[in-house]
Chains A and B, each alone.
Chain A
Amino acid sequence: QVQLVQSGAEVKKPGASVKVSCKASGYTFISYYMHWVRQAPGEGLEWMGIINPSADSTTYAQRFQGRVTVTRDTSTSTVYMELSSLRSEDTAIYYCARNCYDSSGYYCIDYWGQGTLVTVSS
Chain B
Amino acid sequence: SSELTQDPAVSVALGQTVRITCQGDNLRSDYASWYQQKPGQAPVLVIYGKNIRPSGIPDRFSGSSSGNTGSLTITGAQAEDEADYYCNSRDSSTNAFVFGTGTKVTVL
Query: Interface on A for B, CB 8 Å cutoff?
Result: 35, 37, 44-47, 50, 59-63, 95, 97, 100, 102, 104, 106-110, 112-115
Query: How does the 8 Å CB contact mask read for B14-37 relative to A, with 1 for contact and 0 for none?
Result: 000000000000000011010101
Cβ of B70 within 8 Å of any chain A Cβ, yes or no, is no
Known: A59-B96, A62-B1, A113-B42. A106 touches B86 (CB 8 A): no
B1 and A45 contact, CB distance less than 8 A: no
Cβ of B48 within 8 Å of any chain A Cβ, yes or no, is yes
CB neighbours (8 Å) of B90 from chain A are 107
Q: How far is the CA of A37 from the CA of B95 in the complex (A)?
A: 15
Looking at A44, A62, A112, which has the most chain B CB atoms within 10 Å of its CB? A44
Known: A106-B50, A107-B30, A108-B48. A47 touches B98 (CB 8 A): yes
Query: How does the 8 Å CB contact mask read for B43-87 relative to A, with 1 for contact and 0 for none?
Result: 111001110101000000000000000000000000000001010
Q: What are 25 pairs between A and B in contact, CB < 8 Å?
A: A44-B84, A45-B88, A45-B102, A46-B99, A47-B88, A47-B96, A50-B95, A50-B96, A59-B96, A62-B1, A62-B96, A63-B1, A95-B43, A97-B43, A104-B50, A106-B33, A106-B52, A107-B89, A108-B33, A108-B45, A108-B48, A108-B54, A108-B88, A109-B33, A113-B42
B42 and A95 contact, CB distance less than 8 A: yes
CB neighbours (8 Å) of A63 from chain B are 1
B: contact size bracket: 20 to 34
A110 and B54 contact, CB distance less than 8 A: yes
Since A45-B102, A95-B42 are in contact, a sample of 18 more A-B pairs with Cβ atoms closer than 8 Å, ordered by chain A residue number, is A44-B100, A44-B102, A45-B88, A45-B99, A47-B96, A47-B99, A61-B1, A62-B1, A97-B43, A100-B48, A104-B50, A106-B50, A107-B30, A110-B45, A110-B54, A112-B42, A112-B43, A114-B42
